Structure 1
């Protein structure tokens, strides 16, 4: 008589499978809400900054195309980066440690600050390129809605208003300084504020070293040594990685800021040189 084989069903197959998808969908929903909230917050913050730039430039007859859209886009990208970092740290955290989260906040500070600085650099780059093209248009007058056009109009007004060259030169220097400050002011503020980014990295470094010191105090037996060393390694990674991220963010932004300031300086020299050209032609006429 042949032996009947019994088909044993796995025990796991009898377990209800409804709990796991529910947890996954809840996690996905929370993640999406976090991303949406972060993107909306970043977009609104930089949209407000773009609105302040727009109100300031209107006093000089400027109009940056798509400035609000640019600010909202950069803010949304920075917000998504912040949300992704928060989600990543939440998933890869076994226990809550206040010092560790304070150190991790340096990543969030760097990402948020970088978004605001990028908006200013994009804004300045758009106008510097526009002003250079308008001023070097083959000998013609710069078009409307440019600082170069405003420069020539004010220069002509000063020539007819001042007969003494000393007064004329002094007043014209103020005009050039004022026009240069429209773009130079935000660039100078960005250059000054960029110095804070390395300190955000140092915050993570200090917290990482403090975590290592705390773990050293937990060594009680030889069997716990490897566990403590593993915890110390995470603190060491936090200490160096935050500084590295801050420096890798700071250096390119600082280079771009210096480059734009040099181009603005050359544009200022051209505006100053126009004083002698226009004034000389005015005297000859």
Structure 2
């Protein structure tokens, strides 16, 4: 006996699998990366990730997007080849700090997300033919905050440059000092300044490349103590942010205030240089400074 009005069982997989068996497997979500497209923060346009990577993460609108330390070192050194210098280990969470979440847990999460020990990475290689020590600050790691690990890494990079008789290039990107380390973080401003004095005593060039954003105690220390200051287009550079300044002085700031181009116009930055041009510009500057040092010796 056949039951009437019994609903037919629908084939699993939806209508597409009924008409084209196997198609579902071909276009499986597993085969489509989640990060295939990146949104242009200026225009809202969706950009193909591989195109952005080919353009060194510079959008068609000219926005120099933030990049990690590995990409920065790879884009800077000739043929993307460099020697990695290990950063020193420091005491972790000396203040047993918690802001609702223990500092140790925040560190662990940042390390897992960024696959890095802390904010600073050091590499040694040739920049347009000139052997150089480079240190990169990664904003993606806890906002590029300056803590004990960052201070020790900067000192290690400066001393590596002195030991090898090479110039030092520093790529800055920071939201300020690391609040979870209190005064120990602020002490790094003085300690990094002393490390720069070691470079100057050895008559070695120190060049700073200011990237977006460079603010707080980093701007008040090693970011502004270079022999030459370059900046990427549109980079925010300052001590306090524009909103804080406007709220304090109760006045509207000029257009482009604290941006790289404005600071070049006011003499705080020597040159605004696109990411694609940076290796060549750095190479010429470093070659000239090192040649002048050799002639004066």
Question: TM-score, with normalisation over the residues of structure 1?
Answer: 0.21
Higher-helix-fraction structure: 1
Higher-strand-fraction structure: 2
Question: TM-score, with normalisation over the residues of structure 2?
Answer: 0.20
Larger Rg, first or second structure (1 or 2) = 1
Q: Which has the higher contact order (CA 8 A, sep 6+)?
A: 1
